């Protein structure tokens, strides 16, 4: 069974649907016309360009080009994580990149090479969308972990310094904030797994079914991707915070506030 195409006139009709939320927001007094328009325009242009590139990527199926695309995704994600977490990229970029890249590459390689086992392990049809889905979900967890951890440290700086004066090591002093940040980062993934199938039908599974896949195959792929997302999020958040500790403090274990953007 082939997936039904959406003709251009019907795509134009789809954009017309945006008029309804725009009207409702306008009636509530929110003048967000410019923001909505820019958001929809950027989304459309970016996805069209990505679609053109991915079509060429899938046709060529070159391992170097596939790897280059994944590297680009990791670099963009790294910058986005630090910007949204309020940390200065010139200090934390390498540490965050190492943490996120290692977790994404490990989980994607495990899934593709050991679980799915395609004819070519570098097949763009598998590694590009799977790495993208894992990275996209891992990104939010890292933003939460970093933002919560450094916000808690700034908010409770006196308490942290009291622990140090009482003889605690840096790790002992930051451990309560570290644990709280990790818990906050992985809670959405746990909640999503606990309600999946009952509250929502996930996007990957729905897409495969619409594409003509057997529902049982779609279920197995969805389970696989969710386990990889959870694993990558935990690994990346733990490594990210651990590596950042060596950058964010001076020789006297005092937080270097110039590295953290004020909110």
Q: Report the share of the chain in percent with pLDDT over 70.
A: 92
Arithmetic mean of pLDDT, 224-233: 90
pLDDT of 196: 77
Question: 185 or 250, which is more confident?
Answer: 185
Domain total in the chain: 2
**Are 108 and 130 part of one and the same domain?**
yes
The Cα-based distances of 78 to 87, 95, 193, 236, 254 in angstroms read: 11, 9, 25, 11, 25
For the beta carbon of residue 89, count every other beta carbon within 10 angstroms. Answer: 15
Domain that holds residue 187: 62-259
pLDDT at 1 over 60: no
**Are 68 and 54 part of one and the same domain?**
no
List, for residues 91-148, the tens digit of each pLDDT value.
999 999 999 999 999 999 999 999 988 888 888 888 988 998 899 889 999 999 999 9
List, for residues 34-48, the tens digit of each pLDDT value.
888 898 899 899 888
**Are 42 and 78 part of one and the same domain?**
no
Arithmetic mean of pLDDT, 145-172: 89
Yes or no: say if 115 and 54 are a contact pair by the CB < 8 Å rule: no
pLDDT at 263 over 60: no
171, two tokens: 């790790």
Domain boundary residue among 39, 60, 81?
Answer: 60
pLDDT at 74 over 80: yes
Task: Name residues whose C-beta falls within 8 Å of residue 59's C-beta, 6 or more positions apart in sequence.
Answer: none
**Are 3 and 91 part of one and the same domain?**
no
**Are 112 and 189 part of one and the same domain?**
yes
Nearest-CA neighbor of 138 among 174, 109, 96? 96
Confidence of residue 255 (pLDDT cuts 50, 70, 90): confident
115, two tokens: 């679980």
**Are 80 and 27 part of one and the same domain?**
no
**Are 150 and 135 part of one and the same domain?**
yes
CA-angle at 89, arms to 86 and 92, nearest 5°: 95
**Are 72 and 199 part of one and the same domain?**
yes
Nearest-CA neighbor of 241 among 198, 182, 173? 182
Nearest-CA neighbor of 236 among 140, 138, 94? 138
pLDDT of 262: 55
Arithmetic mean of pLDDT, 56-76: 89
Yes or no: say if 145 and 237 are a contact pair by the CB < 8 Å rule: yes
**Are 46 and 75 part of one and the same domain?**
no
**Are 1 and 129 part of one and the same domain?**
no
Global confidence as pTM: 0.81
**Are 159 and 38 part of one and the same domain?**
no
pLDDT of 75: 94
Domain boundary residue among 25, 41, 60?
Answer: 60
Domain boundary residue among 29, 60, 91?
Answer: 60
**Are 52 and 66 part of one and the same domain?**
no
Mean pLDDT of the chain: 86
How far is 162 from 67, CA to CA, in rounded Å? 47
List, for residues 209-226, the tens digit of each pLDDT value.
767 777 788 888 888 888
Q: Report the share of the chain in percent with pLDDT over 90.
A: 34
pLDDT of 126: 87
Confidence of residue 200 (pLDDT cuts 50, 70, 90): low
Nearest-CA neighbor of 61 among 12, 125, 119? 125
pLDDT of 31: 78
Q: For 109-123, 191-205, 228-242, which range has the lowest pLDDT when averaged over its residues?
A: 191-205
236, two tokens: 């990346």
């Amino acid at each position: 069974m082939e997936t039904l195409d959406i003709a251009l006139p019907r795509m134009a009709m789809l954009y017309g649907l945006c008029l309804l939320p725009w009207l409702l927001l306008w009636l509530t007094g929110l003048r967000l016309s410019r923001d909505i328009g820019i958001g929809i325009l950027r989304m459309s242009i970016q996805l069209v360009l990505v679609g053109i590139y991915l079509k060429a990527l899938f046709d060529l199926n070159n391992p170097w080009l596939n790897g280059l695309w994944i590297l680009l995704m990791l670099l963009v994600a790294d910058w986005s994580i630090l910007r949204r977490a309020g940390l200065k990229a010139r200090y934390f970029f390498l540490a965050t990149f190492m943490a996120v890249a290692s977790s994404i590459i490990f989980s994607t390689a495990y899934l593709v090479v050991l679980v799915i086992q395609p004819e070519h392990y570098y097949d763009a049809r598998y590694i590009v969308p799977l790495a993208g889905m894992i990275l996209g979900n891992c990104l939010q967890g890292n933003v939460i972990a970093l933002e919560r951890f450094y916000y808690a440290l700034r908010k409770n700086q006196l308490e942290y310094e009291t622990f140090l004066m009482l003889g605690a090591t840096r790790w002992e002093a930051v451990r309560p904030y570290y644990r709280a940040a990790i818990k906050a980062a992985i809670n959405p993934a746990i909640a999503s797994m606990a309600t999946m199938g009952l509250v929502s039908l996930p996007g990957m599974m729905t897409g495969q079914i619409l594409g003509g896949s057997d529902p049982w195959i779609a279920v197995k792929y969805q389970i696989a991707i969710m386990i990889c997302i959870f694993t990558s999020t935990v690994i990346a958040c733990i490594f990210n915070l651990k590596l950042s500790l060596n950058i964010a403090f001076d020789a006297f274990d005092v937080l270097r506030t110039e590295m953290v953007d004020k909110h």
